[in-house]
């Protein structure tokens, strides 16, 4: 047993780095803490979502007209989003754990956990996962003083952590309160590990939220563009084949990730003929992450 433990301990060197080593905690124990926290969050979940019907997300209105030649040309062809199938989802919370490990989401201290304040990018609301909806007409981005919250041409509401001053205006202005603020210095408290090198750790005092696994999309875009340039093709990148961590982890495939503007995307196929919903407070902001329930 001791030998297994030792081996587990040695594994840390490969997977985690210096972050959080102050506690000297083993990776397996850390992972267990993560799981416990998710379990707690799922069990404590409360509140209902007030869903209203919405049409299928289309191109973002207005904002792309001004794209100059120097900017990304792929502006109009992509709009990434997700649909969560409420008929399939049973609220198991696996998506939360997958998201946390993928995005190096910090744990919270015990007293915060007791008050139900987690850093999770996915909340359980009304028995279903709820995350940032990546509104096409995002209220949070309008009020961010530094431009740290901004939209990519691909329809992702991105956060530039290094540009964030932590004025928390975006958090206040999000109608669904999908944004989380780093009250703690998680690295110092040993509440976070760099489980995934692709995602930077967030420092104390910045806002964070669901990024639609932006790093996966970025990696895929770069790979695609490299290959396209070698092959001499003019194909546009549509983000085919990319999945978010939560969509990947869902045992019932209730979360579908894709490109709303790509007819071949699994998302568009899954949403065809289904009735789409969004939380009432977000419905008029053109959300890209929606819920599916029943046939249309």
Phi, psi (degrees; rounded to nearest 5) at 230: -65, -40
Closer by beta carbon to other proteins, 86 or else 224: 224
State the binding string over 65-94 for other proteins (x if CB under 8 A, else -).
xxxxxxxx--x-------------------
Q: Nearest Cα to 261, choosing from 240, 246, 241?
A: 240
Closer by beta carbon to other proteins, 173 or else 275: 173
Closer by beta carbon to other proteins, 26 or else 204: 204
> Is residue 222 within the footprint of other proteins (CB under 8 A)?
yes
> Is residue 59 within the footprint of other proteins (CB under 8 A)?
no
> Within 10 Å of residue 277's Cβ, how many Cβ atoms?
22
Q: Which pair of structure tokens corresponds to residue 108?
A: 């919270």
> Is residue 196 within the footprint of other proteins (CB under 8 A)?
no
Count residues near other proteins (CB under 8 A).
85
Q: How far is CA 296 from CA 70, 111, 217, 268, 273, in A?
A: 41, 44, 31, 14, 6
| Shortest reach from residue 271's CB to other proteins, in Å | 19
Assess contact for 120 and 96: CB atoms under 8 A: yes
Angle at 141 between CA 138 and CA 146, to 5 degrees: 175
Q: Which pair of structure tokens corresponds to residue 32?
A: 């267990």
> Is residue 256 within the footprint of other proteins (CB under 8 A)?
no
For 129, counting Cβ atoms within 10 Å of its Cβ (0-12 exposed, 13-18 middle, 19+ buried), the class is buried
> Is residue 203 within the footprint of other proteins (CB under 8 A)?
yes
Q: Nearest Cα to 121, choosing from 98, 138, 146, 139?
A: 98
> Is residue 264 within the footprint of other proteins (CB under 8 A)?
no
Closer by beta carbon to other proteins, 92 or else 183: 183
State the binding string over 96-135 for other proteins (x if CB under 8 A, else -).
-------------------x-x------------------
Closer by beta carbon to other proteins, 12 or else 151: 151
Q: Nearest Cα to 181, choosing from 203, 162, 201, 160?
A: 203
Binding positions for other proteins, 138-177, rule CB under 8 A: 139, 141-147, 150-153, 156, 158, 160-169, 171-175, 177
> Is residue 64 within the footprint of other proteins (CB under 8 A)?
yes
**Near other proteins by CB under 8 A: residue from 15, 220, 275, 293:** 220
Assess contact for 196 and 102: CB atoms under 8 A: yes
**Near other proteins by CB under 8 A: residue from 28, 199, 275, 293:** 199
């Amino acid at each position: 047993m001791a030998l297994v433990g030792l081996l587990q301990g040695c594994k840390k060197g490969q997977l985690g780095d210096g972050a959080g080593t102050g506690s000297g905690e083993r990776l397996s124990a850390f992972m267990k803490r993560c799981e416990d926290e998710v379990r707690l969050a799922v069990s404590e979940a409360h509140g209902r979502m007030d869903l209203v019907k919405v049409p299928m997300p289309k191109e973002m209105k207005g904002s792309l007209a001004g794209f100059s030649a120097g900017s990304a040309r792929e502006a109009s062809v992509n709009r990434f989003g997700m649909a969560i199938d409420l008929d399939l989802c049973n609220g198991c919370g696996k998506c939360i754990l997958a998201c946390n490990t993928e995005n190096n989401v910090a744990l919270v201290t015990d007293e915060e956990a007791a008050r139900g304040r987690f850093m999770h990018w996915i909340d359980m609301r009304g028995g279903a996962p709820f995350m940032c909806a990546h509104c096409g007409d995002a209220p949070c981005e309008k009020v961010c003083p530094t431009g740290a919250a901004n939209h990519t041409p691909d329809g992702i509401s991105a956060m530039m952590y290094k540009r964030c001053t932590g004025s928390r205006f975006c958090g206040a202005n999000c109608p669904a309160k999908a944004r989380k603020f780093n009250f703690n210095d998680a690295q110092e408290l040993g509440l976070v590990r760099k489980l995934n090198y692709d995602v930077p750790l967030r420092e104390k005092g910045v806002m964070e939220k669901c990024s639609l696994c932006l790093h996966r999309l970025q990696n895929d875009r770069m790979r695609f563009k490299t290959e396209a340039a070698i092959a001499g093709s003019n194909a546009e990148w549509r983000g085919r084949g990319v999945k978010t961590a939560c969509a990947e982890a869902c045992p019932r495939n209730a979360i579908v990730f894709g490109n709303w503007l790509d007819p071949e995307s699994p998302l568009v196929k899954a949403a065809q003929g289904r009735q789409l919903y969004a939380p009432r407070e977000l419905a008029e902001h053109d959300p890209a992450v929606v819920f599916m329930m029943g046939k249309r």
